């Protein structure tokens, strides 16, 4: 594949992105918390290469403080609503005149939904992969992030990696033969990024009713950090959503091809 890479200076950060040339509306991909483009590729279970093979123009970027992107140690910078502002700034550069298709994973779901609520005209279709805890279930996840902050401040990102290593792998990941890559957080801002995640939530349910785009929901099972209940609630709230539960490794392997058919 050939393409080009770039950086975008935004408030307090430099966003690293790449563009794979192609036709049709641009597709923008957003990774999850403590991931990056490279980490997503290393993990292998969110494969967007079928979009490139289908000739679509694909843009991917690392969220501030992740991967090749920089950030500053300000917790508010890493809230999903602020990450949505970064996304909209990137769209001004990579697709200023046309709405985009977009897929987000976990944290990327939160970013996408905040951006779609703020500027719905910027998006054509949305694919939401493993929506995270939200609303009633968010408090426990937020508390877990806050508990890890002191440890990360003392021992660095390696402490986060060690904590993750002590958690049994998700059944669907283990069955598929995938492994989790190490955290892709900038060590200089990791505690603040975690505090930003802890302070985040999906948009209010009443705000989501205004999202009129076609939405593909692709949760998976047996993951307290990405409960099926979030996707089911989003299915109720979003007027034009379809829910497809991923319960086997083959479901995950088909994800990229499902992007192709859904985005059209």
Q: Tokens in use for 188?
A: 């200089």
Q: Which of 14, 30, 28, 32 is nearest to 197 (CA)?
A: 32
Which residues have CB under 8 Å from 66's CB, separation 6+? 31, 34, 35, 36, 184, 185, 186, 193
Distance CA 64, CA 15 (A): 6
Can you give the pLDDT at residue 165? 83
We report the CATH number of the domain holding residue 20 as 3.40.50.1820
Sequential pLDDT tens for the chain (264 residues): 457 899 999 999 999 999 999 998 999 999 999 999 999 999 999 999 999 999 999 999 999 999 999 999 999 999 999 999 999 999 999 999 999 999 999 999 999 999 999 999 999 999 999 999 999 999 999 999 999 998 999 998 888 888 888 889 999 999 999 999 999 999 999 999 999 999 999 999 999 988 999 999 999 999 999 999 999 999 999 999 999 999 999 999 999 999 999 999
Residue 30 has a pLDDT of 98
8 A C-beta contact, residue 50 and residue 260: yes
CA distance 190 to 65: 7
Q: How far apart are CA 203 and CA 84, in angstroms?
A: 11
- Sequence-distant (6+) residues with CB within 8 A of 97 are none
pTM above 0.85, yes or no: yes
The Cα–Cα gap between 2 and 12 comes to: 30
Number of domain units in the chain: 1
Give pLDDT, residue 1: 42
Domain holding 250, by residue range, is: 4-263
* Residues in a beta bridge with 66: 185
Instruction: Please give the structure tokens belonging to residue 17.
Output: 């992105």
């Amino acid at each position: 594949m050939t393409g080009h890479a770039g950086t975008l200076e935004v408030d307090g950060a430099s966003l690293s992105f790449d563009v794979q040339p192609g036709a049709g509306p641009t597709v923008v991909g957003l990774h999850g918390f403590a991931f990056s483009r490279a980490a997503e590729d290393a993990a292998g279970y969110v494969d967007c290469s079928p979009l490139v093979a289908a000739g679509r123009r694909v843009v991917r970027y690392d969220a501030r403080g992740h991967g090749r992107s920089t950030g500053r140690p300000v917790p508010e910078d890493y809230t999903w609503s602020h990450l949505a502002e970064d996304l909209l700034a990137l769209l001004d550069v990579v697709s200023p005149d046309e709405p985009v298709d977009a897929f987000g994973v976990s944290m990327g779901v939160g970013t996408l939904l905040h951006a779609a609520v703020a500027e719905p005209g910027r998006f054509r279709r949305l694919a939401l992969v493993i929506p995270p805890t939200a609303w009633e279930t968010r408090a426990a996840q937020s508390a877990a992030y806050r508990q890890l902050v002191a440890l990360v401040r003392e021992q660095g990102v390696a402490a986060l990696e060690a904590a993750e290593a002590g958690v049994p792998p998700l059944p669907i990941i283990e069955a598929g033969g995938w492994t989790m890559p190490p955290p892709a957080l900038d060590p200089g801002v990791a505690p603040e990024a975690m505090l930003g995640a802890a302070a985040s939530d999906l948009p209010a349910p009443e705000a989501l009713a205004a999202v009129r785009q076609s939405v593909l929901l692709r949760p998976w099972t047996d993951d307290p950090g990405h409960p099926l209940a979030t996707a089911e609630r989003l299915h109720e709230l979003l007027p034009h959503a379809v829910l497809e539960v991923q319960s086997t490794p083959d479901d995950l392997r088909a994800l990229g091809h499902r992007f192709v058919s859904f985005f059209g």
